[in-house]
Chains A and B, each alone.
Chain A
C-alpha cells in the first residue's frame, strides 16, 4: 500500500498557471485594435492599389475595392522595367553578403573569443569603434576606395565592403564566449586543430546566433538604399530599392504599378520575417542588450 501520488509538481502548476487564459475579451483590445489598424492600413492599402487599374487609382474619393483584381499589374511591372534583373541583383548581393558575414565573422569572432594573439585587445577595440561611426562619415572615402578598385557600377561595390561587419564579429564573439570552453578543450586534446574545433564543435552549437546574424544581415542588405545610390548608375545593375525610386515619373506616377512593384520587393523579407520571426526579434533585442 503506497501513499498518495503527487497531483502535480510545483513546476507543472507554475506552467499551467501561466497558460491560464484570463478573459477572452479584455479592455486592452480597445487599445490594441486601433494600433493594429494604424499599422496595417498602409500595407493593406498598398496591396489593394496594386490590384487596381490606373483609372481606379486616379479617383477621388479613392476606390476602396477594385472592380476586378488586376493581377496583370504584376506582370506589367516585370515587363516594363528590368524588375526581374533588379530582383536578381539584390538577391545575389544579399546572399553573398550574408554568406560572407557568416564565414568571416565566425572566423574572426572565434579568434577574438578564444585565441590569445598579439594585439587582440587593441584590434577588437578598433573593430568596435567602427560601429559607432555614422555611415556618412565614411561614405565618401569608401566611395573613392571602391572606385580605385574599379568596382563602381558593379555588384562588387555592394558586396566587397560589406563582406564582414563589426556587428557580426561582436555578436558572434559574445555568443562564443557563452559556450563552455571545456568542450573545445576536450576536442583539442582529442586531436582537433583550432579550425577543426570551430567548424566541428563551436559552429554546430551556434545555430541561434548564426541564424540571428544571417537574418539581420539579410534585412539590412536587402533594404539598403544610400550605398547603392552612391555606387550604382546603370539601371541594369540597380538593386530593388534603387529601382523602385525610378518609378517616380516626371509627370504623374503610375501608382498601381508602383504599388505592385513595391509589394514584390517586400515579399522575400516578409517571408523571411514570418518564417524566422524569432531570430529577427532576438537580433533586435540583442542590439538593445549590448547598448
Chain B
C-alpha cells in the first residue's frame, strides 16, 4: 500500500461553519429548483425511478434535497484502489494525502518552452520516470501526453493506458471520451488491477452522454469513480468564489446522486478544478489565486462536511510556458493551499504550460515540491526524544555544540527533507562544479532513472492480451468511422 503523507495538522478552514451551511443550502436549492442536465435516457430513467423530477425533453433531472443528502451519506469517506502490484495500492480519503501526475497535450523544450507532439517512445519514457518518482502515487487519464505522434486521437486514451500498464505498476484513472472506458476496463482487468473510473460534467450543470456512459461502465465494473466539473469562473460558473463553489458543488453532487444509484456504496473522489477566466484571453487563469481559494473552500466542504475524499487539480498547470520561477511559485502556492486545507490528493507532477505541455524534468522537480508540501502537513513530533531536554541542559552555553551528539546523527534525516533536484551547494562549490541549477540536477536524476529503473513487469500473456484489446478497439472505432 502506498503510504502517501499522513496529516497531523488540522485542516485550515477558510469558511465559517455558517458559511458552509449557507453554501450547502444554496446547492440543495439549486439542484431542487434547476436540477442538472443528463444527456442520457438511461440515466434519466434511473433518476426518475428514484425520486427525481425528470423532464425528458430538456434532459433535466431536478433532484430533491433528501436524495442528495442520502447519496452523500452512502458515499464512503475512504476506499481502496488495487494496483497491479499491491505495493502501489492506494487507500483514498481520511488523513492521507497522495499526489497524482499531471499531463500535457505536448512535450515542451526545457530551454525554450516551445511545445511539439511527443513520440510514443517519449511517452513511455515519461511513464517510466513517473514510476520511479517516490512521491508520485498515481496517474490521471491520457497522461503524460494527450497527443502522441503515431497515435490517432480516438485511440489515444486506450493506448495511453496500455503504456502506463507496461511501464508502471501505479494506479491509473480511466478516461470518459468516445467510449474509451470499454477498452480501458478490459485493459485493467487483463492485468488484474482496478482503475479510478471517470465522470466529468460539462458546466454549467450538465453531463454528456459520453460521461454518463463512462460512469455506468466504470461503476458496473466495480471501480470507484473520480468525478470532476472544470468550470471557468466568469464563463461557465459565476465569477465569485462563493457562487462558483455552489455551482461546482451542484454539478458534482448530481454525479454523486447518480453514481450511488448505479452502485450503492461506490467509492468516489471529487475533483476540484475551477479556475477564474483570464479576462484578456478567455482562457482559464492557470496558477492563479482564485484557483487556490476555490480549492480551500472545496476541501473544507467536501472533506470536512460531506466527508467525501477530495482531489485538487490546480497545482498541475502553471501558466508559465517554461520550467521556471513563475511555474514554480504557481504550482507551489496552490499545492500548499490544497494540502493545508485538507486535500486527499493533489495533481502536480510534470505539467508545464496551462494544459498544453508536460516534461519529465518538471515531474522530477515537482517530486520535491510534493515532498515539502506533504511533509508540511505531517508536521513534526513533540515527545521526550525530540524535545531533547537532557541534551539541551548538557550543552554548554556559548561553547557547546549539537553536531557531535548521537541525537543529531540519528535524527536529522527524519527531521529534515533534502530535495533531490535542487541546488544545495555553497557558492564556492557551485562555482567549481559547473554552476548547476535545479534543471541540471533533475536531468541527472532523469537519466539515472532511464538507465536503471525497472518497473514491476507484466507477463508476456498479459502483454499479448493488451495488444489484442487495442486491436479490438481499433476495429470498433473503424466501424464507427472514427478511424
A and B pair up: no
